[in-house]
Amino acid sequence: MTCVICRQGETAPGTTTVTLERDGMTLVTRDVSAQVCENCGERYLDEATTTRLLAILEEAAHDGVQVEVRSYVAA
């Protein structure tokens, strides 16, 4: 797909780090599958990955996590 940010590059499979914050909690997830723009580096997550990340965030919030760094594992 053509990058919607730079409108120059094409995206290719890669990985990224996603940082989510909620109510004073910070969750950093590394090695998340993404489409990455070859030109500007913008990263795009698909719906399934986003849904999984939000579920991980909910789980961490329920467990009382304040700051945590995890490696992503697809469901």
Residue type at 48 in one-letter notation: A
- pTM of whole model > 0.75? yes
Given a cut of 50, the residues of the chain with pLDDT beneath it are: none
* Residue 30 · residue 22 · CB < 8 Å: no
- Per CATH, the number for 11-71 is 3.10.20
pLDDT in tens, 25-41: 999 999 999 999 999 99
**Non-local CB neighbours of 19 within 8 Å, separated by 6+ positions:** 26, 27, 28, 29
Using alpha carbons, select from 57, 51, 58 the residue that is nearest to residue 29.
57
Distance in angstroms (rounded) separating the CA atoms of residues 68 and 20: 10
